[in-house]
Structure 1
Amino acid sequence: MAKSRVDYTQAKFITSAPDISKLPEDTGIEIAFAGRSNAGKSSSLNTLTEQKLARTSKTPGRTQLINTFALQEDQRLIDLPGYGFAKVPMEMKLKWQRSLGEYLQKRESLKGLVVLMDIRHPLKDLDRQLIEWASSSDIPVLALLTKADKFKQGKRKSEVLKVRRELAEVADNITVHAFSSLKGTGLNELRKQLDEWFLGPVVTQPPSENDSPAE
């Protein structure tokens, strides 16, 4: 498995906030994870960090607050409230949507958005709205098609290509990968993208004039 430049296993919980006023100071770089309440967001974060960082539940909609996890200094992962599925009172659902929207619109340290969608049911209306908003705000998006182990390889690849084609019409700063918390599918791709957002792309040095060609 390719080695990540950021050690995600060192992630530490900082706080759960009802809105952005209770979040840490708006400095450094944050990468946010968002998705429908049954998309496997918590499981993906736990797989990435190799720890039970985010609480999982068989009842969708347990993430009701903005959860913040620290990596290195001024590097944070954000677990945003799930949307679109949870069977909760409308008043609470609207409150979640307000806190989600406020974070996405006003948080200056947000440098990338991971949108998680069940590979069997991708690009629901709320998913599209979120991706289109992020793209219009010049926030790069990684679309992770979760629960990829539910499909055989051929079907999985065709679904990824289909979503890529659809999202290519939205913007050119959207990346799409299949992901499985159970099998580890797409984990290297996720880490690579997060590394780029946190640290910038890997710069390869061209060979110097003094380098002699191999015999």
Structure 2
Amino acid sequence: MTNPQIDFRRAKFLISAPDIAHLDKHLPGDTGVEIAFAGRSNAGKSSALNALTEQKNLARTSKTPGRTQLINVFALDEHRRLVDLPGYGFAQVPMAMKIKWQNALGEYLQERRCLSGVVVLMDIRHPLKDLDMQMIEWAVASEIPVLALLTKSDKLAQSAKMKTVNEVRKALAEFGDWVQVEPFSSLKGTGKPKVLSILNAWCHPDWLEFIEEDAE
């Protein structure tokens, strides 16, 4: 049976929160499905979210990496949400602020039960840095599927792009089906249909069907 198609263009801003406690106050419990977007501060998270939802300003972009300081939540429908997590590993901010961001990131990933999948975004020219690997390893250990999204693929020639994609797939092969690797370009739209297909599948865990039936 084919999953119903989610219209990601309907995404709308729901809430910004510094931590889990603030999320719990404003969202209807830790239920439904959330798909998290995580990555280094210069990986192009906001641009990717805007491209996937076909909205120019859904997620705020900045010429200064590291401006995503909060957990930003976007609703797809009553039960499904996209979550833009604070960027890691680059921002030129005080250490105390970095620690605060990382605490919020770690708390969300460890405590959010409705997390259905994690998109780990990496600049295709600089993939698999230590923090990227830590994120992937944690998610797989927690039995959460990962999409390793190699952004800014338009910056490389086709041969170089596919060489990098294959190298990353080989490096992550040990994780089996838990990790998928895809190239992506917010500018050119490269990889968009494949990414939306993966996200759509994550939006339909079997138990969510019972929640929707009860709500009817």
User: Which TM-score applies when normalising by structure 2?
Assistant: 0.89
2:181 equivalent to 1:183: no
> What is the one-letter code of the residue matched to 2:44?
G
Equivalent pair of 1:33/1:80 in contact (CA under 8 Å): yes
CA distance in 2, matches of 1:166, 1:91: 33
Question: What is aligned with 1:102?
Answer: 107
Q: 2:123 aligns with which of 114, 118, 123?
A: 118
CA distance in 1, matches of 2:76, 2:152: 26
Give 4+ residue runs of structure 1 displaced > 6 Å after superposition. Answer: none
Instruction: Provide, for residues 16-60 of structure 1, a one-character-per-residue CA deviation record: whole Å limited to 9, x for no partner.
Output: 000011112211000000000000000000001111200000100
Equivalent pair of 1:135/1:171 in contact (CA under 8 Å): no
RMSD between aligned alpha carbons? 1.2
TM-aligned CA deviation for residue 97 of structure 1: 0.3
Question: What is aligned with 2:161?
Answer: 156
Stretches of structure 1 lacking an aligned partner (at least 5 in a row): 202-215
2:53 equivalent to 1:49: yes
Stretches of structure 2 lacking an aligned partner (at least 5 in a row): 207-216
Question: What is aligned with 1:91?
Answer: 96
2:206 equivalent to 1:194: no
Q: 1:26 aligns with which of 27, 30, 33?
A: 30
Q: Matched residues, percent identical?
A: 65
CA distance in 2, matches of 1:50, 1:163: 28
Equivalent pair of 1:13/1:70 in contact (CA under 8 Å): yes
Select between 105-114 and 191-200 the one with higher mean Cα deviation.
191-200
Question: What is aligned with 1:36?
Answer: 40
> What is the one-letter code of the residue matched to 1:27?
T
Question: What is aligned with 1:70?
Answer: 75
> What is the one-letter code of the residue matched to 2:52?
L
TM-aligned CA deviation for residue 171 of structure 1: 4.2
- State which structure, 1 or 2, has the greater radius of gyration over its C-alpha atoms: 1
Q: How many residues align?
A: 198
